[in-house]
Amino acid sequence: MSKLYNILLDYQKSLPKSYRIITNISHTSFFKQLENIVNIDKTLDELTDVFQKNLYHFPISNIFYENTKYEIVFRNNTEYDNYSMKWHYDNKKIIKHKISDLQKIHSLHIISMDDKYIYGLYSKNPIRYTIIIYLDSYKTDFEGGEFHFHDEIIYPEKGMLLFFNADELHKVSLLSHGKRRAIVVKIY
């Protein structure tokens, strides 16, 4: 494990327990509509439209209000993309600065220091929650690509909905074989 990961892990453990929901929505008409759109290469606008129409029938609809802003991203990765994600937060950027740069640093929440470096976080955007809806299954459609929280590994299943606070530390392992598709929703 890297020094930065250990610093981030210590910081994450100091935060209140995060709120997560992991459920399967593959049996719902909402999921079947999403799957149909991505399977016939429809546009992101059509995906957004289906999401908008089904917002209040969603398993976690209580987080959506009349003017809730959100962004939808469709991830369609294969083993040739070398897709992975390092440890990160969706609503913060992780910074490592030299101690000598201390006077240049503004709006940084310092989480650790050593003889040479300052490790800190700053909010890069106001994302509150992240939703991931998986369209393929681990070991059936792809290998690698596991989703990691600091205290749990998620093995994606077709129709799995993963909901978590945007200030939760996470990463995605390198996708080593197959195709891994997911719809990611960032809620502001």
What sign has the CA pseudo-torsion 41, 136, 33, 131? negative
Question: Which is more confidently placed, 23 or 98?
Answer: 23
**Axis crossing angle, helix 44-54 with helix 29-39, rounded to the nearest 10:** 180
Question: Which is more confidently placed, 165 or 98?
Answer: 165
Query: What is the model's pTM?
Result: 0.85
Question: Which is more confidently placed, 139 or 7?
Answer: 139
Question: Looking at residue 102, what is its pLDDT?
Answer: 66
Residue range 18-90+127-187 in CATH 3.40.50.800: no
Question: What's the rounded mean pLDDT across residues 113-133?
Answer: 83
What is the token pair recorded at 77?
């990765």
Question: Looking at residue 111, what is its pLDDT?
Answer: 79
What SS3 state is found at 169?
Answer: coil
Mean pLDDT over each residue of the chain, to the nearest integer = 86
